[in-house]
Structure 1
Amino acid sequence: MEAKEGGYDVNIPLYLSHLNVTSALKHSQKQGELSLTISDAADHTKVQKAGKVEHHLWKKRESAGSGQKAMNLVRIISGLPNEKEFVYGALDKLIAWETEFPLIAAAKALRILRQRRLWKRVIQVAKWMLSKGQGATMATYDALLLAFDMDNRVDEVEPLWNMILHTSTRSVSKRLFSRMISLYDHHHVPDKIVEVFADMEELGVKPDEDTVRRVARAFQMLGQEDKQKLVLKRYQSRWKYIHFNGERAKVRRDME
């Protein structure tokens, strides 16, 4: 029978008993530190979540406010005579008490007018924004070029396009080049299509399929069949989609 004293085995060396006690204390200390770490992390997560919620609510309020302003702007100019002085005067009055230009609201109003196909109003609002030094974005330019196209104001296109190229040379989007070529194709101006395409190539912007077809047609109309073939060879996709037995199939163009 092994003798024990004070709850300890007397046959176990003292230094081993000391190690056991020390290990138990260290284990207890680590458990406490782990609990504190978890608690701190939980508190930090709560702070982060609270911040996110506050930011989200602010964004929602801002979005709702700009939408109301946009609708108000559309309502006001829709009832005005179709003259620049009346429209600009009303828009200036509308923002007179704003601490800063309501760019988001104006951009939304422009989008609404575009959806309603009110091309003259799109032109007026876009020009007004640009006259204030605001909204000089590819989206505004695209809306303005489309409105010029639909309102048959082709004579106003070239000055705007030259300004865009001069101020935004390397950032002109493929979409804007496509818009210009589509506009000139719509109004049967092949020489202008070729000019825009030359700028497109110079800036290294690759045309989409519709643009390639329009450019090739422009060269054909100008009697430059060699350039027409070169454009098709260089840029036209080797593949096309056809409908076969009621299904959409991808085939090589040289297999047609």
Structure 2
Amino acid sequence: MWKSPAISYLVGHLTQLGVIRAQVLSSSYSTVSQAQVYNLREGKAVVSSEDQHHNQVNSRIPEKNAGGENRNQIRWNVSRKDKINFLVKTLLNLNDSKEDVYGTLDGWVAWEQDFPIGKLRIALIALEKEQQWHRIIQVIKWMVSKGQGTTMGTYGQLIRALDMDQRPEEAHKFWQKKIGMDLHAVPWQLCKSMISMYYRNNMLENLVKLFEGLEAFDRKPPQKSIVRKVADAYEILGRLEKKERVLEKYNYLFTEDRSRKKPKNALSKEKKKLV
């Protein structure tokens, strides 16, 4: 019976941890169809699929273990944190193979009743701390292929990972395909990330096109750093009139009336007086 290296790796490490004993019965690397799940520390087990018929026959007479729990209620007794940590460590130790990564993720989610989007997001944050940008890209692309994680937050994380992995052209294509067609609703933080990426990689035509697209929806930049990058791009491209227009239009970001803002120490004094 053929087993994917990724699934064998996953099952092998779970077995070493004393968590499961599993049989991979499908010829597809993405399916774990029958398994026995154990918590050795508690001496509990979820019965295998071979025993399901017997359990159904005797379902009217709940069998209890020494701890008073019904056998049918016993599940994989592993904490959420341990599951996430295990996945992160497994992903960090895998070879740079799409098949291995996808197979591992498929095997991991096979133990969940619902798609564990929350756990995967925590795992992605952990991978970010390790600066595993290439692995983050693989995980998010796998999620999207499953129809999951199709949110601006996940897309932004993918854009950032592609940028850090020095793949700006791929990030640009993804932006055009999934995000850029709906500029009136894209969060400014995500737009700022794209403008910064274009600026760092000298993709200035794309930068000014994005900014002008946002202006077409009457969306005003929230920070002067964005205006500076746009003005610099216009100058490098030789469009000095547009540079001056932008600087003049958003001049208020550079000349904020500081008198309207009271210093923090003044505010604290006022609070003390009220007390």
Q: TM-score per shorter chain, which class?
A: 0.5 to 0.7
* 1:114–1:143 contact (8 Å) kept in structure 2: no
Equivalent residue for 1:202, pick from 213, 216, 221: 216
- Secondary structure class of the residue paired with 2:202: coil
User: Matches of residues 61-210 of structure 1 in structure 2 within 5 Å?
Assistant: 65-165=79-179, 169-207=183-221, 208-210=223-225
Segments of structure 2 that go 5 or more residues without pairing to the other structure are 1-77, 265-275
Shift in Å at residue 74 of structure 1? 1.0
Q: Secondary structure at the match of 2:149?
A: coil
Aligned 8 A contact 1:67 1:108 in 2:
no
- 2:226 aligns with 211
* 2:250 match: 235
Q: How far 1:240 moved relative to its partner? A: 6.0
Question: In structure 2, what is the equivalent of residue 39 of structure 1?
Answer: none
Judge conservation of contact 1:217–1:228 (CA < 8 Å) in 2: yes
Percent identity of paired positions between Structure 1 and Structure 2: 36
- Quote the Cα distance in structure 2 between the aligned partners of 1:69 and 1:140: 21
- Once superposed, what is the RMSD of the aligned Cα atoms? 2.4
- Structure showing greater radius of gyration is 1
Contact 1:66-1:104 at 8 Å conserved across structures? no
- CA deviations on 1:124-179 (whole Å, 9 max, x unpaired) are 11111111111112221111111111111112112211233367554210011101
The change in CA–CA distance for 1:187 and 1:172 in structure 2 (over 3 A counts) is same
Matched residues in 1 for 2:92 and 2:255: separation?
47
Matched position secondary structure for 1:171: coil
Once the 2 structures are TM-superposed, how far is the Cα of residue 241 of structure 1 from its aligned partner?
10
Correspondence for 2:241: 226
Mapping of residues 242-253 of structure 1, within 5 Å: none
Deviation at 1:95, TM superposition (A): 0.5
- Does the 8 Å CA contact 2:183/2:214 hold for their aligned counterparts? no
CA drift of 1:66 comes to 4.2
Paired with 1:92 and 1:105, the residues of 2 have a C-alpha distance of 14
Asked if 2 retains the 8 angstrom alpha-carbon contact of 1:123 and 1:147, the reply is: yes
Q: Which amino acid aligns with 2:166?
A: N
- Which moved further from structure 2: 131-140 or 199-208? 199-208
8 Å CA contact 1:184, 1:190 repeated in 2: yes
| Amino acid aligned to 2:201 | H
The answer to whether the 8 Å contact 2:134/2:161 transfers is: yes
Task: State how far apart, in whole Å, the 2-side matches of 1:87 and 1:234 are.
Answer: 49
Q: Structure 1 pair 228/101, CA: closer, same or farther in 2 (3 Å)?
A: same
Q: How many residue pairs end up in the alignment? A: 181
8 Å contact kept, 2:134–2:165: yes
Partner Cα separation in structure 2 for residue 169 and residue 216 of structure 1: 20
TM-score (norm 2): 0.61
Distance 1:113 1:155 in 2: 23
Q: Which has the higher contact order (CA 8 A, sep 6+)?
A: 2
Contact 1:219 1:228 in 2 (8 A): yes
Is 2:184–2:214's contact at 8 Å kept on the other side of the alignment? no
Q: Which amino acid aligns with 1:235?
A: Y
- Give me the whole-angstrom Cα distance separating, in 2, the residues matched to 1:170 and 1:230: 22
SS at match of 1:105: helix
